[in-house]
Structure 1
């Protein structure tokens, strides 16, 4: 019975991670071809009624998602510390690791953006 519950919990965690990773996917309704080279004569046109999020909006969503994951991790850790019987130490560790991975990913994206900005600024005109 315990193995069955562990498998169920693992499946729930995997589904949760999948849904979180889909937050960084292209907006629905756009094919990979539309996102890769929009407007470069590839025959794919975006309909005017479709709103494509700007780079700033996507970055804001990503930062907010990282913030939400960190808040959730903190809340789970606090509940465990207060003795909530429904929270296992494994839940705390998983939430902590998810928070850490999300933050490290955001940090690496920021570093790459800064590096790209510096490369562009150093290009001869």
Structure 2
């Protein structure tokens, strides 16, 4: 259980460092927000208000990767559970429980992110004009 928690924490830290490096690269590459010509913190605006790509992964790509990670953790957990039930000697109970806990923690984290995104969206909708 402790190994599972430390594994999840190390994964979270690695994601944070990756996001920190990506954000630093975007800040270094993007023009100043007070520059002339419709340039903001989200990049150079093109026709019809579209944002040109900045080279860093978009929010939707990052979210998609996180969801795919949760899905693969759940799939791996299910495979280990099935192998344990079938008597595979490589699937011991400890591995099954750790994989199950990792999948559960990843799913809960994803649900929490979703809840916070929905809450932020609702706050934006309720802002006075």
TM-score (norm 2): 0.67
Aligned to 1:81: 85
Higher relative contact order (CA 8 A, sep 6+): 2
Aligned to 2:19: 26
Q: Secondary structure at the match of 2:83?
A: helix
TM-score (norm 1): 0.69
1:101 counterpart (98, 105, 122): 105
Q: Secondary structure at the match of 2:56?
A: coil
- Deviation of the 1:59 alpha carbon: 0.6
- When the two chains are superposed, the root-mean-square deviation of aligned CA atoms in Å is 3.4
Q: Secondary structure at the match of 1:113?
A: helix
Encode CA deviations 1:26-48: one digit per residue, 9 max, x unaligned.
1756538939x98447xxxx9xx
- Deviation of the 1:50 alpha carbon: 6.5
**Distance of 2:31 and 2:124 partners within structure 1:** 21
Asked if 1 retains the 8 angstrom alpha-carbon contact of 2:70 and 2:107, the reply is: yes
In structure 2, do the counterparts of structure 1 residues 114 and 29 end up closer, same or farther at CA, with 3 Å as the change threshold?
A: closer
- Deviation of the 1:88 alpha carbon: 1.1
